[in-house]
Structure 1
Amino acid sequence: MAGILLLGSHQQYKHPTKPGEVKMYRFLVVIEKANKNYSAYSPDLPGCVATGATREEAENNMYGAIEMHIQGLLEDKFPIPESKSFAKYIAVAEKPGVGQTS
């Protein structure tokens, strides 16, 4: 597996046997708080999910799940899905008096 070292906004990619021949894939991951744990999924990789007791654990487990999912697709000669999903928080203010009864 390729190693990734994050340095600020820069990424260095190292392949153990093929330097300079690493193809990187990037997918949106959604992490949701459940009752007693966290769950994670990627909208671009149906069926690829993970859970964890903490948010960080769910994220780490999802990283491994995506690696395994991609490796399986490559081994079976299936195309890697194109990342098409994006996320953005949108702030909406509550309007005074809306939904209140006198």
Structure 2
Amino acid sequence: MIKEPEPNFEATIARWQAEQARREVRSYRFVVLIEPADGHFLARCPVLDGLIGIGTTTEEARVNLLTTLYGHLSDLRRQSRPIPTDESLAETIYVLMPA
């Protein structure tokens, strides 16, 4: 008679937990300001002072900031530190003045 192998529940649980971790995501919202600066663009997130993205276009600056933000937030999570929240709003306003 052939004996069936006993199931490895620990490995099964570990695989399940890894799969769950890959599925769980959280979205964070941050206001980003993009400004021209010396022939390029500077993207910054006011609530995370010091994090910037620089690019020759606004899109490149935004992508570079996003890369920096992702790395910074990943570091905070690894260190079990809280991720800041950004409750601010940004909008463009126009003021009419006599010429």
Report the TM-score, using the length of structure 1 for normalisation.
0.71
Higher strand share: 1
Q: Where do 5+ consecutive residues of structure 2 fail to align?
A: 1-18
Normalising to structure 2: TM-score of the pair?
Answer: 0.73
**In the alignment, which residue of structure 2 is the partner of 1:30?**
33
Unmatched tracts of structure 1, length 5 or more: 1-14, 97-102
Q: Which residue of 1 aligns with 2:15?
A: none
Equivalent AA in structure 1 for residue 22 of structure 2: K
User: What is the aligned partner in structure 2 of residue 45 from structure 1?
Assistant: 48
1:54-65 to 2 correspondence within 5 Å?
A: 54-65=57-68
Structure showing greater radius of gyration is: 2
Count residues with an aligned counterpart: 81
Q: Deviations over 1:41-80 (max 9, x none)?
A: 1011112111011111101101111101100111111110
Q: Partner of 1:31: helix, strand, or coil?
A: strand
Q: Which amino acid aligns with 2:38?
A: N
Match of 1:77 among 80, 84, 91: 80
> Hey, what's the Cα distance between the residues in 2 that align with 1:47 and 1:62?
11
The CA RMSD over aligned residues, in Å, is 1.9
Higher helix share: 2
Identity %: 35
- The letter for the 1-side match of 2:48 is L
Q: Distance in 1 between matches of 2:38 and 2:26?
A: 37
